[in-house]
């Protein structure tokens, strides 16, 4: 390799490192800004404009206000319910549907798949869905945020494709021993599909954790609000501190600004903590679900 080639490669590596470092900074900066703003002194933060690369002073008063706010505690509990119960129902129903429609012995599966794919392209719309939820008696209940989205079509297709990758010989061997469909699913298919199940669980978990739009449509009882809907109300309030502590004094405006950032951090960190535990499954699961249809 000539010295000129070495110089070119070195220049590329330097440029690539600088570019990726800049891209990483741009991606992470909003999170860094919110983190530093949430622990900054409210009065100093109120007077500061521009890039924030370190906290302006130090104060945990915003987090104390968030901790004592009953709306956030209630919203956090509701979100945990939607995430745990909703994701469990999602994964169970998606697994059952994917298993049935991945069996080659199930003759009408092509027609069911056609109907399912059709639903991805055309839907009834918001108003018909609202009327359906209301007429089913789900309106203003927790189940309005779970049952209408029980199966996501894309997640279902990924899981079905993964199930199709399992060799038929494995299933045939256990059926010779008298195993039925539930035993095949529980003892063979699911254990061999841990990666894609972990990914699908993550997708459903993130969806429920971040969901607020459906709650704003189907819920009027504030006791059922998820955390993200509570956060939305806090962010659009002109007097955040007054909402937190029950006052409306102008003196509360500085702490109100930092409360917004602290609330964002509280609602973001839990879901970020989930990723490291299933990161090793992520790429494998998506690739397994995208090889063939």
Q: Provide the phi-psi class of 292: left if phi over 0, else alpha when psi is between -120 and 50, else beta.
A: beta
Q: How high is the pLDDT of residue 291?
A: 47
pLDDT number for residue 133 = 92
CA distance 277 to 255: 35
User: What distance in Å separates the CA atoms of residue 216 and residue 90, rounded to the nearest whole number?
Assistant: 21
| Nearest by Cα to 166 from 291, 280, 282 | 291
Structure tokens of 26?
Answer: 């741009």
For Cα atoms 268, 272, 276, give the angle at the middle one, nearest 5 degrees: 175
Mapped onto helix, strand or coil, the DSSP state of residue 65 is: helix
Q: Is 137 left (phi over 0), alpha (psi -120 to 50) or beta?
A: left
CA distance 31 to 36: 9
**Per-residue tokens: 124:** 């009834």
User: Taking a C-beta distance cutoff of 8 angstroms, is the pair 40, 55 a contact?
Assistant: yes
Full pLDDT tens readout for the chain, 293 residues: 455 545 556 787 888 889 999 999 988 888 888 888 888 888 887 777 778 888 888 888 888 888 888 888 899 899 999 999 999 999 999 999 999 998 888 888 889 998 888 888 887 788 889 999 999 999 999 999 999 989 999 999 989 988 888 888 888 888 887 878 888 888 888 888 888 898 899 889 989 998 899 999 999 998 999 988 888 887 776 545 444 555 444 455 567 778 888 888 888 888 787 777 766 666 665 555 454 44
8-state DSSP, 289: T
Tell me the domains of the chain and their CATH numbers: 68-221+274-288 (1.10.3720.10)
What is the DSSP track for 66-128? HHH-HHHHHHHHHHHHHHHHHHHHHHHHHHHHHHHTT-TT-TTHHHHHHHHHHHHH----HHH
The residue written with tokens 């370190």 in the block is 54
Whether residue 263 contacts residue 231, with contact meaning beta carbons closer than 8 Å, is answered with yes
Please name the residue ranges forming H helices in 122-252. Answer: 126-135, 153-164, 168-176, 181-184, 194-210, 213-218, 227-236, 240-245
pLDDT for the residue numbered 247: 47
3-state helix, strand, coil in the chain (%, to 5): 75, 0, 25
Output the pLDDT for position 192: 87
274: helix, strand or coil: coil
Helices and strands counted in the chain (H then E):
15, 0
């Amino acid at each position: 390799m000539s010295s000129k080639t070495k110089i070119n490669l070195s220049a590329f590596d330097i440029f690539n490192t600088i570019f990726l470092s800049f891209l990483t900074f741009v991606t992470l900066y909003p999170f860094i800004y919110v983190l530093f703003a949430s622990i900054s002194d409210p009065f100093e933060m109120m007077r500061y404009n521009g890039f924030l690369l370190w906290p302006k002073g130090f104060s945990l008063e915003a987090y104390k206000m968030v901790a004592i706010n009953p709306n956030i505690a209630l919203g956090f509990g509701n979100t945990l319910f939607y995430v745990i119960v909703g994701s469990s129902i999602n994964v169970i129903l998606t697994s059952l549907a994917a298993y049935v429609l991945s069996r080659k012995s199930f003759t009408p599966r092509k027609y069911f798949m056609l109907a399912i794919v059709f639903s991805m392209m055309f839907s009834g719309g918001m108003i018909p869905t609202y009327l359906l939820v209301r007429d089913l008696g789900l309106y203003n209940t927790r189940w309005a945020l779970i049952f209408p989205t029980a199966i996501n079509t894309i997640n279902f297709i990924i899981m079905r494709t993964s199930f199709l990758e399992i060799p038929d010989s494995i299933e045939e061997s256990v059926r010779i021993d008298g195993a039925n469909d539930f035993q095949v699913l529980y003892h063979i298919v699911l254990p061999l599909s841990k990666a894609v199940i972990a990914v699908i669980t993550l997708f459903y978990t993130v969806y429920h954790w971040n969901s607020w739009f459906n709650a704003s449509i189907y819920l009027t009882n504030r006791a059922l609000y998820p955390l993200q809907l509570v956060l939305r109300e806090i962010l659009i309030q002109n007097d955040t501190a007054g909402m937190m502590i029950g006052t409306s004094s102008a003196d509360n405006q500085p702490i109100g600004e930092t409360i917004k950032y602290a609330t964002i951090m509280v609602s973001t960190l839990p879901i970020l903590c989930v990723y490291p535990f299933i990161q090793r499954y992520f790429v494998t699961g998506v690739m397994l679900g995208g090889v063939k249809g």
